[in-house]
Amino acid sequence: MRAFNYSKTRAAGDAVMTVSGQPEAKFIAGGTTLVDLMRINVETPAQVVDINALPLKTIQALPGGGVRIGALARMSEVAEHPLIVQGFPAVSQALLLSASPQLRNKASIGGNLMQRTRCPYFRDTALPCNKREPGSGCSAIGGENRMLAILGTSENCIATNAGDMAVSMSALDAVVRIRGPKGDRTVNLVDFYVVPGSTPNIETVLQHGELILAIDLPAAPHAARSHYLKVRDRASYEFAVTSAAVGLDVQGSTIRSARVALGGVGTKPWRSKEAEAALVGRPATEATFVAAAQIALSGAKPRSQNAFKIPLAQRTLVKALRTLAGGGS
């Protein structure tokens, strides 16, 4: 691990000024991702700014029934909060299926949004990785790629986004509130992450020194009736092979609104508005769900070891939709 300077701050503005003024500075909250990457020299900040004293831990109701989650609220707190359980069950479910109880007690919501890929080549500094060292090459394309992405990939990177919570929040129209050197701004979570293209080292729209303040979840019938389904190689403490976050508003037998996002298959949490369009106005039947699932995966580009993710992701999505419609659990 590289030697670094450590400081604490109690004001968001001070934190932003400190980090934005030093090109090699990083924020730290729970540290469950950053410290791990520092230990293996993937992250090598010269300055670490502890933001845990900032007043960003609240979970509060918004006018109209939405919820604002402070960036420093812990994953376990958010998963069990009544406003989340009742109004946004897919978010609660995704959090409870993430990591271990110990990590959920430590990790912050803002940090969870910023977690980095678990691609083995990204975490092995002896091997080429365009995400870690731009221009060095992508070892995964011709290597071990069973767990890697099939949506949003490029010839420069096929690393999978590792998140669960971000998938559920992307499906439910979350908005990220950000403070930076130029002031405050908001970004829809579906636009917060970027696909790798020719710059896989750039993963989000955050500029250096910008700090996540909170995440807003807007109330909606499809948010209150939502579900997160995760398929993994073992029953606990494992990243998704495939996952699906879905929300449905059904009147009679007709779908009035729908939300669909996939995890474990994309270089970012993969919202499928095409699948949503295929659901709205249609009957909540198995045939409708199968057709939407086929559309959701229509742009997939598998590599040598992960073509199985296409039918598996389709089945995952169909089962999640079926569960909401009352046809399975």
Tell me, what's the pLDDT at 236? Answer: 84
Per-residue pLDDT band for 327 (boundaries 50, 70, 90) equals: low
d(CA 297, CA 151): 8
Q: Phi and psi for 60 in degrees, rounded to 5?
A: -135, 150
Q: Is the pTM of this model over 0.85?
A: yes
Tokens of 185: 């701004």
pLDDT band at 134 (very low <50, low <70, confident <90, very high): very high
Q: Among residues of the chain, what percentage have pLDDT more than 90?
A: 97
Amino acid (one-letter) located at 317: L
What's the CA gap between 12 and 210, in Å, rounded? 10
DSSP string, 246-314: EEEEEETTEEEEEEEEEESSBSS-EE-HHHHHHHTTSBSSHHHHHHHHHHHTTT----TT-TTHHHHHH
| 236 contacts: CB under 8 Å, gap ≥ 6 | 100
pLDDT in tens, 164-218: 999 999 999 999 999 999 999 999 999 999 999 999 999 999 999 999 999 999 9
The pLDDT value given to residue 237: 85
pLDDT tens track for 220-230? 999 999 999 99
Residue among 166, 213, 204, 208 nearest 186 (CA):
213
**Cα 189–chain centre separation:** 9
Whether the predicted pLDDT of 329 surpasses 90:
no
| Per-residue pLDDT tens digits for 54-97 | 999 999 999 999 999 999 999 999 999 999 999 999 999 999 99
CA dihedral 233, 236, 240, 241 (to 10 degrees): 10
The DSSP string of 143-167 is: S--TTS-SBS-BTTB-PPP--SHHH
Overall size of the chain counted in residues: 329
Band of pLDDT at residue 326, cut at 50, 70 and 90: confident
Query: Does the CA dihedral 49-53-59-63 come out positive or negative?
Result: negative
Query: Is there a contact between 236 and 101 (Cβ–Cβ < 8 Å)?
Result: no
Q: How confident is the model at residue 269 (pLDDT cuts 50, 70, 90)?
A: very high
Provide the mean pLDDT of the chain.
97
Listed residue (214, 176, 210) closest to 71, CA to CA: 214
Residue that is written with structure tokens 């109690």 in the block: 10
- SS3 at position 178: strand
At residue 117, the pLDDT reads 97
Q: Is it the case that residue 99 has pLDDT exceeding 80?
A: yes
For 6, the 3-state DSSP assignment is: strand
